Amino acid sequence: MEARHDSTAHKHAADHGHGHGHHEPGFLGKYIFSTDHKVIGIQYAVTSLFFLMFGFCLMMVMRWQLAYPGEPLPLIGGWLGEARMPGGVMTPDFYNELGAMHGTIMVFLGVVPLGVGGFGNYVLPLQIGAKDMAFPKLNMFSYQFFFVGCVLMMSTFFLPGGAAQSGWTSYSPLANINPGQTGWIVSMIFIITSSLLGAINFIVTTIQLRTKGMSFWRFPFFVWAQFVTSFLLLLAFPPLEVGAFLQLMDRVTGSSFFLPSGLVISGHPLDVAGGGNPLLWQHLFWFLAHPEVYVLILPAMGIVAEILTNNTRKPLWGYTAMVYSIIFLGFMSFIVWAHHMFMTGMGSAIAAFFQTTTMIISVPSVVILAALFLSLWGGSIRFTTPMLFALAFLPMFGIGGLTGLPLGLTSSDIHLHDTYYVIGHFHYVVAPGTVMAFFAGIYYWYPKATGRLMNETLGKLHFWITFLCMNGVFMPMFWVGLAGVSRRLYDGGASYAHGQHVLWLNGVSSWSAWIMGAAQIIFIINFFWSIRGGKAVDKNPWKSTTLEWEAPSPPPHGNFLTDPVVYRGPYDYSPRGYSADFRPQAQEA
Amino acid sequence: MSAELIPYITEARPDTGLTNGKIGIWCFLASEVMLFGAFFASYIVLRTSAAEWPHGSSILNVPMATLNTVVLITSSVTMVMAWASLMRNDMGKYRLFLGTTVALGFCFCIIKYFEYSAKFEHNLLPHTHNFIALYFIMTGLHAAHVIGGMITNAYFLVAAPSYLEHDRDLLINRVENSGLFWHFVDLVWIFLFPILYLL
């Protein structure tokens, strides 16, 4: 389904294109089994956009139960089957299934493949002046592994017992005994393999395939962001793979890696050898999942940096500081993972260490955000649709980051952990933050991929509704969370006596989510309509300096008509004593 | 197709001094270090938090594992010699040494098979104790790497003539990278052996 969407998208794009290099492979070779980084990028992007929407739909169903606990879901309630929604009322098991799969899909099937697989694959080789990725076949395999992982993950909904129900974090021992987890693990092994292949490819491409004159300090910030992200993927995913293997052993062979001795479930002692350590799973999981948080946010920062400088017509403020910050951020992200585990009883000495590293890692994040804000100062800003989304990223990510500080301090975390405050916090980083940046990126690079602009009016309409509703969804969660409502309650807090005065906010969140869901239809229409109906533009519609705009739109197989040579840094906007207000990297001095 | 699009497959990029494949394989090995590193870390956590932990040599077969250590180290030596023979264009020796490497890998798997079946016979299965479970998953994953390396090397043995026809440098590069992987697998065993069998 996604592959077909993608192929039509690309085919139309190619109709307006400029030839296809030396070979004319057949339909399958060109769109399904392509080794061209641009086609693979579009495959990733369309697949992950589909999953972002799908994951959001799961959440929209859950939000009914949270706003109107125990009431039958109108219309759709009947479609989901008597087993899961008897009489249209959601069962707790189904609620858990939706929650676990929402998290898993959004993170592993949506945001990461869009940010890295989609934007990274499409834009990075173009921005460094490469003709393709270093290992085109591995790149194809990377997408195929990902796709198989996605299909397997979706198929778990139809297995007996349903999909995974233990949260995207799959904490043991719960995940050892809940149904659906085995399918989750097997799918994850495919997705991890896909990430690994992608990460190696990005690193080698960035180091080796830079065009003449493209030194590291002339990289656009987006390339730096992808480069650092690749190292995180390369080194952080294997420990989760180990965790997955161990959990699979526990489930299939009956070992007790994550099962302590004397575990009693529903009044019955569990018949296992015991002697395992449930905290080990959390360590293995968060050793991946904290760097993963930066895998989610770094590509977004890269996208925003590109769009901000382009639309302020000014160089990026503090480029060097930002590069050092992002490298430091990548490094530090490996030693903050246990701040997710303050309340697990791992001990206050370890908690103190991770609290300290957590405070340290906020410094480079603030440097990057501050540099992006300062880049606006004195610019003559063009409020294009991509710029609106990029501008929205700044305060949204700022709110997400600042609300994280009380969670990173052990004492305030005692009150806040596992409440809706946490959900509000990390969603502000990932949803109003990263997803807004991704929308910005789609509107920005769409003319490169298709040769046509997306419709500005529809784009701005999409932006304003999404922006307002996004805050409507997540802002109330801070109040609900501060009142102490746990994020794990299936009734949205109705059973929690002290939280009754804030429960009306659940309705605000839910209605905002539904309106926002409806607003995405505008985006979908714009996305597909503009393939044919958008305004046709030349190769550089935004008057940008970076190399991807030197290639024709859409770029042919092999990308550039002549090998570009780079003469200067990435953001030479409004140079003194120059006729135009931008001087491209490939412009001879 | 890829040759005209992708530079630095066989010749090193001047400013980095490396080929694409070389950086790629080292990145891959880095992720493998994290993979096995996480296993070793899990081993430490599980062992230190367990109420009792058996002495490896009281359950596992140390002589067989010692023999396997010798087999693997020898295969690493023959791997290097295969690559060196290829560099000198001595194809007879290349086939001999690479063939020996594959055969020794096979030998390792046979010995492993006897070890495993002895455990099955005595009902020493993963559900009996975490030590046994760790033993199976760690050595099992290592054996999977050995088999992967064997397949790759066997391919370079069979496909060598066709490589020599069009791109000898490519074969040299790939055998070198395959060798790096083989040495890494060997190295993992050097850590696995004392941790599981001796400590």
Chain B residues inside the 8 Å CB shell of A291: none
Q: What is the pLDDT of residue A28?
A: 79
Could you give the percent of chain A with pLDDT greater than 90?
87
CB B188 within 8 A of CB B145: yes
Q: Is the pLDDT of residue A311 over 90?
A: yes
Subunit contact B38:A287, Cβ cutoff 8 A:
yes
Q: Which residues of A126-137 are buried (b: 16+ CB within 10 A; e: fewer)?
A: bbbbbbbbbbbe
Q: What is the pLDDT of residue A27?
A: 78
Chain A residues inside the 8 Å CB shell of B173: none
Chain B residues inside the 8 Å CB shell of A22: 1, 4
Chain A residues inside the 8 Å CB shell of B148: none
Q: What is the pLDDT of residue A81?
A: 87
Tokens of B73: 């180290």
Radius of gyration for the alpha carbons in chain B, expressed in angstroms and rounded: 19
The CATH superfamily assigned to A2-17+25-259+277-550 is: Cytochrome c oxidase-like, subunit I domain (1.20.210.10)
Q: What is the pLDDT of residue A24?
A: 63
Q: What is the pLDDT of residue A5?
A: 43
Three-state secondary-structure class, residue A573: strand
* Residue A3 pLDDT class (50, 70, 90 cuts): very low
Whole-number Å distance between alpha carbons of A157 and A83:
12
Tens digit of each residue's pLDDT (9 = 90 or more) over B1-48: 445 789 999 999 999 999 999 999 999 999 999 999 999 999 999 999
Q: What is the DSSP string of A493-537?
A: TTT-GGGGGGTHHHHHHHHHHHHHHHHHHHHHHHHHHHHHHSPB-
Q: What is the pLDDT of residue A4?
A: 40
CB B25 within 8 A of CB B181: yes
Q: What is the pLDDT of residue A8?
A: 41
* Domain map (residue ranges) of chain B: 15-198
**Residue from B35, B43, B139, B180 whose CB has the most chain A CBs within 10 Å, to mutate:** B35
Taking CA–CA distances from B21, the nearest residue in chain A reads A204
Q: What is the pLDDT of residue A78?
A: 85
Taking CA–CA distances from B5, the nearest residue in chain A reads A131
Q: What is the pLDDT of residue A23?
A: 55
**Residue from B26, B137, B145 whose CB has the most chain A CBs within 10 Å, to mutate:** B137
CB-nearest partner of A235 from B18, B30, B126: B30
Q: What is the pLDDT of residue A7?
A: 42
pLDDT, average across residues A240-258: 95
Q: Is the dihedral of CA A378, A379, A382, A384 positive or negative?
A: negative
Q: What is the pLDDT of residue A2?
A: 39
Q: What is the largest CA-CA distance in chain A?
A: 81
The 10 Å Cβ neighbour count of residue A71 is 13
**Mean per-residue pLDDT of chain B:** 94
Q: What is the pLDDT of residue A175?
A: 93
Tens digit of each residue's pLDDT (9 = 90 or more) over B137-186: 999 999 999 999 999 999 999 999 999 988 899 999 999 999 999 999 99
Whole-number Å distance between alpha carbons of B143 and B151:
12
Q: Is the pLDDT of residue A525 over 50?
A: yes
pLDDT, average across residues A196-209: 96
**What number is the ipTM of this complex?**
0.95
**Residue from A208, A209, A217, A263 whose CB has the most chain B CBs within 10 Å, to mutate:** A208
Angle A74-A523-A551 from CA coordinates, rounded to 5°: 155
Distance from CA of A279 to the nearest CA of B (A): 9
Q: What share of chain A is helix, strand, coil (3-state, %, to 5)?
A: 70, 0, 30
Chain B residues inside the 8 Å CB shell of A137: 2
Q: Is the peptide bond before A173 cis (omega within 30 degrees of 0)?
A: yes
Q: Is the pLDDT of residue A505 over 50?
A: yes
Whole-number Å distance between alpha carbons of A484 and A476:
13
CB-nearest partner of A249 from B13, B129, B137: B137
Helices (H), chain B: 2-5, 20-49, 56-59, 62-87, 91-121, 130-158, 160-166, 168-192
Q: What is the pLDDT of residue A381?
A: 95
**Lowest mean pLDDT segment, chosen from A79-83, A321-325, A443-447:** A79-83
Subunit contact A276:B46, Cβ cutoff 8 A:
yes
Q: What is the pLDDT of residue A52?
A: 97
More confident of the two residues A322 and A29: A322
Q: Is the pLDDT of residue A16 over 60?
A: no
CA distance readout (Å), A456 to A13, A514, A535, A552: 19, 24, 10, 22
Subunit contact B42:A242, Cβ cutoff 8 A:
yes
Three-state secondary-structure class, residue A221: helix
Q: Is the pLDDT of residue A29 over 80?
A: no
Subunit contact B136:A253, Cβ cutoff 8 A:
yes
Chain A residues inside the 8 Å CB shell of B181: none
Chain B residues inside the 8 Å CB shell of A239: 34-35, 37-38, 41
**Mean per-residue pLDDT of chain A:** 93
The CATH superfamily assigned to B15-198 is: Cytochrome c oxidase, subunit III, four-helix bundle (1.20.120.80)
Q: Is the pLDDT of residue A407 over 60?
A: yes
Taking CA–CA distances from A201, the nearest residue in chain B reads B24
Give Cα B81 distance to the centre of its chain: 16
Q: Which residues of A312-329 are buried (b: 16+ CB within 10 A; e: fewer)?
A: bbbbbbbbeebbebbebb
Chain B residues interacting with chain A (CB cutoff of 8 angstroms): 1-2, 4-8, 13, 16, 18, 20, 23-24, 27-28, 30-32, 34-35, 37-39, 41-42, 45-46, 49-52, 125-130, 133-134, 136-137, 141
* Domain map (residue ranges) of chain A: 2-17+25-259+277-550
Subunit contact A280:B39, Cβ cutoff 8 A:
no
pLDDT, average across residues B78-86: 97
Subunit contact A131:B6, Cβ cutoff 8 A:
yes
Tokens of A345: 């009883």
Give Cα B143 distance to the centre of its chain: 8
CA distance readout (Å), A311 to A158, A341, A380, A388, B100: 47, 41, 8, 10, 63
pTM above 0.90, yes or no: yes
**Residue from B4, B8, B23 whose CB has the most chain A CBs within 10 Å, to mutate:** B23
